[in-house]
Amino acid sequence: MEQLFSIKRSYKNRSIVEQVAQIIFVVCGLTAVLAVASITIYMIISGTPALFQVGIKEILFSSDWNPTGTQPQYGILSVILTSIVGTGFAILIGVPIGVLTAVFLAETAPKSMAAIVKPAVELLAGIPSVVYGLLGLMVLNPLMYEVELVLFKDSTTHQFTGGSNLISAVLVLSIMILPTVINISESAIKAVPTYLKTGSLALGASHIQTIFKVILPAARSGIVTAIVLGVGRALGEAMAISLVSGSSVNMPLPFNSVRFLTTAIVSEMGYAADMHRKVLFTIGLVLFAFIMIINMILTRLLKKGGNEDA
Amino acid sequence: MKRNRKKLLGITLATVLSLSTLVGCGNKNAENTTPAGDTTTTETTDTTKTDDSGLSGSITMAGSTSMEKFATALAEAFMGKNSGVTVNAEYIGSSAGIESLIAGNVEIGNASRELKDTEVSAGAVANIVATDGIAVITDANNKVTDITTADLTKIYKGEVKNWSELGGDNMPIIVIGREAGSGTRGAFEELLGIEDQCAYANELDSTGAVLAKVASTRGAIGYVSLDVLDDTVIAMNLDGVTPSEDTIKSGEYTLSRPFIMATMGEISAQPKEVQALFDFIKSEEGKALIESVGLFTAE
Which of the residues A6, A271, A277 would you substitute to probe the B interface, choosing the one with the greatest number of B C-beta atoms within 10 Å? A271
Number of domains in chain B: 2
A266 Cβ under 8 Å from any chain B Cβ: yes
**Would the CB atoms of B14 and A257 count as touching at under 8 Å?**
no
**Would the CB atoms of A160 and B200 count as touching at under 8 Å?**
no
Residues 163-202 of A with CB under 8 A from B: 163-164
What does the pLDDT read at residue B9?
A: 53
pLDDT per position as a tens digit, A241-298:
988 998 889 899 989 999 999 999 988 887 777 788 899 999 999 999 999 998 898 8
- Is B10 inside a domain boundary? no
pLDDT per position as a tens digit, A22-45:
999 999 999 999 999 999 999 999
- Is B44 inside a domain boundary? no
Buried b (16+ CB within 10 A) or exposed e, B241-250: bebeeebbee
Say if strands B256-264 and B174-178 run parallel, antiparallel, or are unpaired.
unpaired
Pair (B277, B191) in one structural domain? no
**Would the CB atoms of B202 and A248 count as touching at under 8 Å?**
yes
Strands (E), B92-235: 108-111, 124-125, 128-139, 146-147, 174-178, 202-204, 220-225, 233-235
What does the pLDDT read at residue B206?
A: 83
What does the pLDDT read at residue B45?
A: 39
Q: B94 lies in which domain range?
A: 57-131+257-297
**Would the CB atoms of B96 and A271 count as touching at under 8 Å?**
yes
- Is B49 inside a domain boundary? no
Pair (B138, B233) in one structural domain? yes
Pair (B146, B108) in one structural domain? no
What does the pLDDT read at residue B14?
A: 53
Minimal CA–CA distance to B79: which of B46, B126, B102? Answer: B46
What does the pLDDT read at residue A310?
A: 37
Of all residues in chain A, the one with the smallest CA distance to B172 is A160
- Is B212 inside a domain boundary? yes
What does the pLDDT read at residue A195?
A: 94
What does the pLDDT read at residue B229?
A: 85
Domain A78-309 in CATH 1.10.3720.10? The answer is: yes
The CATH number assigned to the domain holding B281 equals: 3.40.190.10
Strands (E), B77-229: 85-91, 108-111, 124-125, 128-139, 146-147, 174-178, 202-204, 220-225
Residues of chain A with pLDDT under 50: 1-2, 307-310
B202 Cβ under 8 Å from any chain A Cβ: yes
Of all residues in chain B, the one with the smallest CA distance to A161 is B201
What does the pLDDT read at residue B42?
A: 38
Pair (B109, B155) in one structural domain? no
Q: What DSSP designation does A258 have?
A: B
**Would the CB atoms of B218 and A70 count as touching at under 8 Å?**
no
- HSE-CB for B267 with a 13 A CA cutoff: 17
Q: Are A76 and A60 in contact (CB under 8 A)?
A: yes
Q: Which residues of A touch B201 (CB under 8 A)?
A: 159-162, 164, 246, 248, 257
- Is B26 inside a domain boundary? no
Provide block-wise average pLDDT over 10 residues at a time, chain B (299 residues).
54 51 41 38 39 76 84 90 89 88 93 88 91 90 92 93 90 91 81 86 87 90 87 92 83 85 90 90 90 77
